[in-house]
Amino acid sequence: MAKAGKADAGADEMVNICRNRRATHDYEILDRIECGMVLVGTEVKSLRDGHASLDDAYARIDGDEVWLVGAEIPEYPFGNRLNHKPKRTRKLLLHRREIDKFAGKAAQRGFTLIPLQMYFKGGVAKIEIAVGKGKQAHDKRESLKKADARREIDRAMSAKRKR
């Protein structure tokens, strides 16, 4: 994980904290959106140190709000008794029209909201979530075959350019 330090002071600079690498393997990504998170102080300090995990995390829509469930932000080592719980449910910040758009898609059978990556953008912690449909085993194998073929083509093209 890249360490998120003072480099995130730029307005448009994006400093990656963590990615959900299994998401693109396990799900077909249909639509993405960036949203903010409601965090406490020790969570932000832990994120600035580059500590977080989106493994087994998902987003859930409850009424008019979107919640991030299962994401782990470890306790800040220098925090005191007011330190946060690492796997607590966190509220995501979206506009009403964005929630309505995603709620309609995620409510369909077989679709879910998946967090893809967490990052700092302009000094503010953001998370990218997506609507995804679970892939079956044969779809995963097909995706791997396409990626291998693409890699072979790129190798052949780069070898040809070196001549």
pLDDT in tens, 1-43: 455 555 445 556 888 888 888 887 788 888 888 999 988 888 8
**How does pLDDT run across 129-161, given as a tens digit for each residue?**
998 887 777 777 888 888 888 888 888 888 877
pLDDT value of residue 3: 53
Residue 11's pLDDT is what?
58
The CATH class given to the 6-135 domain equals: mainly beta
The residue whose two tokens read 């995620």 is 106
SS3 of the chain: CCCCCHHHHCCCCEEEEEECHHHHHHEEEEEEEEEEECCCHHHHHHHHCCCCECCCCEEEEECCEEEEECCECCCCCCCCCCCCCCCCCEEEECCHHHHHHHHHHHCCCCEEEEEEEEEEECCEEEEEEEEEEECCHHHHHHHHHHHHHHHHHHHHHHHHHHC
* 87: exposed, middle or buried (Cβ count in 10 Å: 0-12, 13-18, 19+): middle
| pTM of the shown model | 0.71
> Tell me: the pLDDT tens digits for 66-82?
899 988 888 888 777 77
